[in-house]
């Protein structure tokens, strides 16, 4: 059986700061929602409006550069996204790297919350 990522959650200490960072880096707008009063989220969506993951916070989740590594789509140009990371308050952790066999490019960064997150794009 093959599988696709159907949801991800990126830990935050300050949801507003984290949402502003990701909105700036990806030149997009996240949708703010809350399942419960104590569980606010900033939702990432695909072009078709489908929710695919979120920024979230709480006592049960802790930002970390050592946890699970999520690769976010930076297409069509990874460099355009990379160029916005530091101005938005993040830090480059691994420079843009070309993958073998024409699999595209990757980069890793530390977000404003201290999470290590990765990018992937074909160009």
Averaged pLDDT of the chain: 93
pTM (two decimals): 0.89
Q: Report the C-alpha gap between 72 and 64 in whole angstroms.
A: 17
Could you tell me which residue, 75 or 107, shows the higher pLDDT? 107
Give per-residue pLDDT as tens, 25-73: 999 999 998 876 667 899 999 999 999 999 998 888 899 999 889 999 9
Report domain extents, the chain: 9-121
Q: How far apart, in whole angstroms, are the C-alpha atoms of residue 8 and residue 109? A: 17
Provide the pLDDT confidence category of residue 1 given band limits of 50, 70 and 90. Answer: low
Q: What's the half-sphere exposure (Cβ side, CA atoms, 13 Å) at 78?
A: 23
Architecture of domain 9-121: Roll (3.10)
């Amino acid at each position: 059986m093959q599988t696709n990522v159907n949801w991800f959650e990126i830990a935050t200490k300050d949801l507003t700061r984290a949402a502003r960072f990701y909105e700036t880096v990806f030149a997009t707008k996240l949708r703010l929602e809350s399942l419960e009063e104590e569980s606010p989220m900033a939702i990432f969506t695909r072009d078709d409006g489908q929710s695919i993951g979120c920024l979230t916070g709480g006592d049960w989740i802790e930002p970390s550069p050592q946890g699970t590594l999520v690769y976010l789509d930076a297409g069509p140009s990874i460099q355009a996204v990379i160029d916005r990371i530091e101005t938005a308050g993040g830090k480059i952790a691994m420079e843009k790297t070309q993958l073998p066999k024409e699999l595209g490019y990757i980069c890793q960064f530390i977000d404003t919350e201290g999470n290590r997150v990765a990018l992937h794009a074909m160009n």
